[in-house]
């Protein structure tokens, strides 16, 4: 059985298929788009009972068996819980997108990236191997980048996308280092095996590895001080914001922490990092949210706050904390995604999502208003919603700690949680009231120009209803869905009995008090906004990031001006002479080289003499050529004579390649030199002797490289192995080709990747407009030189050749 791999493959393939279908043509595609994720959701739902009873599905595929690398997938409680969220919400998002990007020519492209993201995200939570997880992790980063930059005509979108990519991939690089350290310490990259490894938590290298892993998790999940990329990511189309930047991708870091929780949560380093970073992020996000009048920005900060809460909860090992963790993930996905989707519908219908221009939308958009109200109730934690259950568990955890041993931590945590809940409630009340119920907007009112159809609003309504009433039936799924996930985070089976109603406990009164205060914050929202407007913006994580990036660019510019500021010829001389020096050292100071060189020489045959003569004549012609065009052609002849050598020494593949390369090189050189007029005569000046010296040294360099290569065989040659095994292992009698595409396929893969990047670079840099601008600059420089006294004029024609 390879059901897990097939599920991932289905989602991967859905992308290109949808891209080809051009789904913008009809709303019928909304149903078709929802099909692949719905199928995977259904399959996962069918596995719930089996997983709950303790049987985990494991699949392992060899990747590079000789290196011990493999792709490992595992469906345990945590993977299934996250997987159901990813594909379940993914189903709604896929349906919604067709309406949101109505008539957009690039809708197919959006679906392509969306499905690849979905597959990567699902692969990430199903991974049972650190390196597999890393590959999927980067898959989500790249697709996130593409989705944020979807409206690439807006500068803000591209900048936000780049910022998100740089921050998350920089963190991911640190994480990779941490993974490698952890894997080497444990002797395996398999996550289950690492977690089961006794003594891994106390190993000397573990703190270093953990800090590196934290960097990856915190950047991905927008924890302080890396939270600034998330608001910038709101330039993405709303389905992507709702899906990636609220419900799923930003929880990848938290998922990783939850995965590692069983083995490392004993460490003080673990506790304090997560508790402090998570707690601070939670408060920061919550108090910032109310400042923003852009609906999506407000929701983004609220998301940051919840991500902080989840991180903080993972610091603890208590039952309440882990229950609160799992319930919060579920509740948050079920209220935040609908809020985002509704903001998208408002944006679509009104042409703006700025609260200052909106008012009284409840009449125009009744279904959306219902959705938002239900989501607000859940987000503010009003009974009997899922959000209420999550908040109860959160407060219960800290109250429990406070009552028992940990007075300080419990009290601090309780204060953080209460403060954040007050401000989050205030923010979401503000959003709902201002957009949907108040009479008059602050600014000029936006007009409804496009009333949404019912199906556009349906996915959000479905999710929000689940979130609003789901807690009432918590008993029906807690054992199959929640308990296995909680057990996986805890690392041991846990008895879970969630109850919506605990009686009139102190926590319940606290919860009600929080609601009252949230209303107070809501009523005083004008005061808070005026207050925030006075906070200077210069000192923020974003400003620090921007300053760092600027500094890197400036440094790069300075270094480049110093080492590459001069014309081409002097720069090349430096590079070539450095190479010559190295080989000179190798030839004359490696012992025995020269004597062995003389021994191995043979007297050339007549044919070889003839080719030598031809090559030398062509070379002399090149050097003595009057114009560049003839020099280029003569150079081509030199190359062709080298081809003759390949032929007489029986290397037809090399000969063919060399011949073609020579032909194309002549073409390219002619085209390049067209800019400096190929038929102009080559100027002779006083620097010519120096150039001659460099050229001659370079000739010896080439000669010496071949000789050293020929003489200094360090180990046993691998060539006989290739020749013997080519037909048997590689199924080909052309050894050169078998080496290229089979024996050393990895190398070739790297090379064609470089070629592809070179093609992109050439495509972008050599646009004729760009070349034209360059030429104009050269001409301007020439004119400047020409206007100077007479001797400078003769220099100008030559200098252009260096550029």
Partner 1 sequence: MTEIYLRLVNLILTPLIILVAILLFLRGHDLPGGGFIAGLLVAAALELTILSRGATVTREQYGPWLIPLVGLGLLVAVIAGLLGIYGGGFFHGMWIEFYLGGDKIKMGTPQLFDLGVMLVVIGMGVTYLLRLSEAAEAVSKNDAVEGEQP
Residues of this chain that interact with partner 1 (CB under 8 A) are 61-66, 71, 652-653, 656-657, 660-661, 663-664, 667-668, 671-672, 674-675, 729-734, 736-738, 740-742, 745-746, 748-749, 752-753, 755-756, 758-760, 762-763, 766-768, 771-772, 775
Neighbour tally for 765: CB within 10 Å: 10
The distance between the two most distant Cα atoms of the chain, rounded to a whole number of Å, is 107
* Closer of 91 and 643 to partner 1 (Cβ): 643
Comparison of 684 and 731: residue with beta carbon closer to partner 1: 731
Nearest to 431 by CA among 304, 292, 328: 292
CB neighbours of 557 closer than 8 A, spacing ≥ 6? none
Nearer to partner 1, 63 or 508 (CB): 63
How does DSSP classify residue 716?
A: -
Nearer to partner 1, 506 or 762 (CB): 762
Question: How many whole angstroms separate alpha carbon 350 and alpha carbon 444?
Answer: 13
Residue 155 Cβ vs partner 1, minimum distance, rounded to whole Å: 23
Please, which residues bridge with residue 58 across strands? 74
Give the dihedral sign, CA 745/748/750/755.
negative
CB of 620 to partner 1, least distance (A): 28
d(CA 130, CA 184): 11
With b for 16 or more beta-carbon neighbours within 10 A and e for fewer, the 537-554 pattern comes to eeeeebeebeeeeeeeee
CB of 762 to partner 1, least distance (A): 5
182-186 long-range contacts, CB within 8 A, separation 24+: 182/130, 182/206, 182/209, 182/213, 183/130, 183/131, 185/209
Structural contact between residues 386 and 378, judged by C-beta atoms closer than 8 angstroms: yes
**CB of residue 162 to partner 1, shortest distance in Å:** 21
Q: List the alpha helices (DSSP H) in 524-602.
A: 525-533, 541-564, 568-589, 593-600
b (16+ CB within 10 A) / e for 407-418: eebbebbbebbb
Q: Which is nearer to partner 1, 376 or 726 (CB)?
A: 726
Separation of alpha carbons 246 and 299, rounded Å: 9
Indicate the residue among 672 and 792 with the shorter CB distance to partner 1: 672
Instruction: Kindly report the number of other CB atoms within 10 A of residue 118's CB atom.
Output: 30
Rounded to whole angstroms, how far apart are CA atoms 189 and 9? 23
Burial class (CB in 10 A: 0-12, 13-18, 19+), 637: middle
CB-wise, 664 or 718, nearer to partner 1?
664
User: Taking the CB of residue 166, how many other CB atoms lie within 10 A of it?
Assistant: 15
Q: How far is CA 469 from CA 332, 384, 430, in A?
A: 14, 7, 23
> Of the two residues 108 and 178, which places its CB atom closer to partner 1 in the complex?
108
Q: In the complex with partner 1, which residue's Cβ is closer, 65 or 565?
A: 65
Q: Rounded to whole angstroms, how far apart are CA atoms 305 and 427?
A: 12
| Closer residue to partner 1 (CB): 770 or 794 | 770
Min dist CB 746 to partner 1, Å, is 6
Taking the complex as a whole, the smallest distance from the CB of residue 653 to partner 1 amounts, in Å, to 5
Cis peptide before 384 (omega within 30 of 0): yes
Which residue lies nearer to partner 1 by CB, 16 or 351?
A: 16
User: 41 vs 726, which CB is nearer to partner 1?
Assistant: 726
Contacts of 478 (CB under 8 A, 6+ apart): 496, 497, 498
Minimum Å gap between C-beta 132 and partner 1 is 12
Which residue, 305, 331, 431, 308, is CA-closest to 384? 331
Residue 170: CB minimum distance to partner 1, A? 25
- Preceding amide of 687 cis, omega within 30: no
In the block, tokens 């125009």 appear at: 364
Q: Is the C-alpha dihedral spanning 222, 224, 229, 230 positive or negative?
A: positive
| Radius of gyration, CA atoms only, the chain | 33
Q: Give the residue with the Cβ less far from partner 1, 9 or 718.
A: 9
Q: Residue 692 or residue 752: which is nearer to partner 1 going by CB?
A: 752
CB-based contacts of 78: which residues, under 8 Å, 6+ apart?
A: 125, 255, 258, 259, 484, 485, 488, 489
If the CB atoms of residues 558 and 767 are measured against partner 1, the closer one turns out to be 767
Minimum Å gap between C-beta 36 and partner 1 is 20
Q: Which phi and psi angles does 62 have, rounded to 5°?
A: -70, 135
Shortest Cβ distance from residue 105 to partner 1 (Å)? 15
Distance (Å, rounded) from C-alpha 345 to C-alpha 353? Answer: 9
Q: Of 505 and 627, which has the nearer Cβ to partner 1?
A: 627
């Amino acid at each position: 059985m390879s059901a897990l791999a097939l599920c991932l493959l289905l989602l991967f393939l859905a992308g290109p298929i949808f891209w080809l279908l051009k789904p913008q043509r009809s709303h019928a595609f909304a149903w078709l788009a929802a099909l692949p994720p719905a199928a995977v959701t259904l399959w996962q739902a069918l596995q719930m009972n089996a997983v709950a009873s303790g049987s985990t599905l494991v699949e392992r595929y060899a990747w590079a068996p000789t290196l011990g690398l493999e792709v490992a997938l595992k469906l345990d409680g945590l993977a299934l819980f996250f997987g159901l969220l990813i594909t379940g919400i993914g189903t709604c998002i896929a349906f919604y997108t067709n309406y949101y990007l109505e008539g957009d020519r690039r809708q197919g492209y959006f679906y392509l990236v969306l499905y690849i993201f979905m597959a990567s995200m699902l692969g990430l939570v199903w991974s049972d191997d650190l390196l597999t997880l890393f590959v999927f992790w980067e898959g989500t980063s790249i697709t996130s980048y593409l989705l944020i930059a979807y409206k690439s005509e807006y500068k803000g979108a591209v900048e936000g996308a780049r910022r998100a990519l740089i921050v998350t991939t920089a963190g991911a690089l640190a994480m990779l280092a941490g993974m490698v350290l952890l894997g080497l310490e444990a002797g395996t990259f398999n996550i289950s095996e690492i977690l089961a490894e006794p003594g891994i938590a106390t190993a000397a290298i573990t703190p270093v590895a953990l800090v590196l892993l934290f960097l990856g998790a915190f950047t991905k999940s927008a924890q302080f001080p890396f939270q600034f990329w998330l608001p910038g990511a709101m330039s993405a189309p709303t389905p992507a914001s709702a899906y990636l930047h609220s419900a799923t991708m930003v929880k990848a870091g938290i998922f990783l922490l939850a995965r590692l929780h069983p083995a490392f949560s004993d460490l003080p380093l673990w506790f304090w990092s997560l508790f402090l970073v998570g707690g601070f992020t939670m408060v920061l996000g919550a108090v910032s949210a109310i400042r923003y009048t852009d609906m999506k920005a407000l929701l983004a900060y609220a998301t940051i706050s919840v991500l902080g809460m989840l991180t903080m909860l993972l610091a603890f090992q208590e039952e309440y904390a882990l229950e609160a963790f799992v319930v919060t993930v579920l509740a948050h996905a079920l209220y935040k995604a609908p809020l985002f989707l509704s903001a998208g519908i408002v944006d679509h219908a009104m042409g703006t999502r700025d609260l200052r221009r909106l008012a009284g939308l409840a009449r125009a958009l009744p279904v959306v208003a219902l959705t938002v109200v239900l989501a607000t109730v859940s987000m503010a934690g009003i009974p009997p919603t899922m959000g209420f259950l999550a908040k109860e568990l959160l407060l219960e955890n800290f109250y429990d700690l406070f009552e028992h041993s940990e007075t300080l931590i419990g009290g601090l945590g309780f204060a953080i949680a209460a403060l954040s809940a007050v401000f989050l409630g205030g923010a979401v009340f503000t959003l709902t009231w201002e957009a949907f119920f108040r009479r008059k907007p602050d600014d000029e009112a936006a007009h409804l120009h496009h009333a949404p159809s019912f199906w556009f609003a349906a996915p959000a309504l479905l999710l929000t209803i689940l979130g609003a009433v789901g807690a009432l039936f918590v008993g029906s799924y807690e054992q199959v869905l929640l308990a296995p996930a909680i057990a996986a985070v805890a690392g041991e089976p846990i008895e879970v009995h969630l109850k919506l109603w605990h009686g009139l406990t102190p926590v319940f009164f606290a919860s009600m008090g929080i609601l009252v205060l949230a209303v107070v914050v809501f009523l005083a929202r004008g005061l808070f906004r005026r207050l925030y407007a006075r906070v200077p913006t210069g000192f923020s994580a974003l400003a620090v990031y921007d300053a760092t990036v600027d500094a890197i660019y400036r440094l790069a510019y300075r270094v480049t001006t110093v080492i590459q500021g001069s014309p081409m010829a002097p720069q090349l001389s430096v590079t070539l002479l450095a190479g010559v020096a190295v080989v000179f050292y190798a030839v004359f100071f490696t012992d025995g080289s020269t004597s062995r060189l003389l021994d191995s020489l043979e007297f050339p045959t007549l044919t070889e003499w003839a080719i030598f003569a031809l090559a030398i004549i062509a070379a002399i012609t090149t050097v003595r050529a009057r114009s560049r065009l003839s020099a280029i052609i003569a150079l081509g002849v030199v190359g062709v004579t080298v081809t003759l050598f390949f032929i007489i020494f029986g290397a037809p593949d090399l000969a063919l390649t060399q011949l073609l390369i020579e032909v194309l090189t002549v073409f390219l050189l002619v085209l390049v030199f067209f800019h400096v007029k190929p038929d102009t005569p080559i100027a002779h000046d006083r620097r010519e002797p120096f150039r001659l010296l460099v050229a001659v040294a370079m000739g010896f360099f080439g000669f010496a490289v071949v000789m050293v290569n020929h003489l200094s065989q360090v180990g046993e040659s691998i060539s006989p192995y290739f020749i013997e095994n080519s037909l048997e292992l590689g199924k080909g009698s052309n050894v050169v080709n078998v080496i290229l595409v089979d024996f050393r396929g990895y190398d070739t893969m790297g090379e064609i990747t470089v070629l592809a990047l070179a093609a992109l670079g050439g495509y972008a840099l050599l646009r004729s407009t760009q070349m034209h601008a360059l030429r104009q600059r050269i001409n301007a420089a020439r004119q400047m030189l020409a206007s100077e006294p007479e001797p400078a004029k003769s220099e100008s024609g030559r200098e252009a050749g260096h550029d």
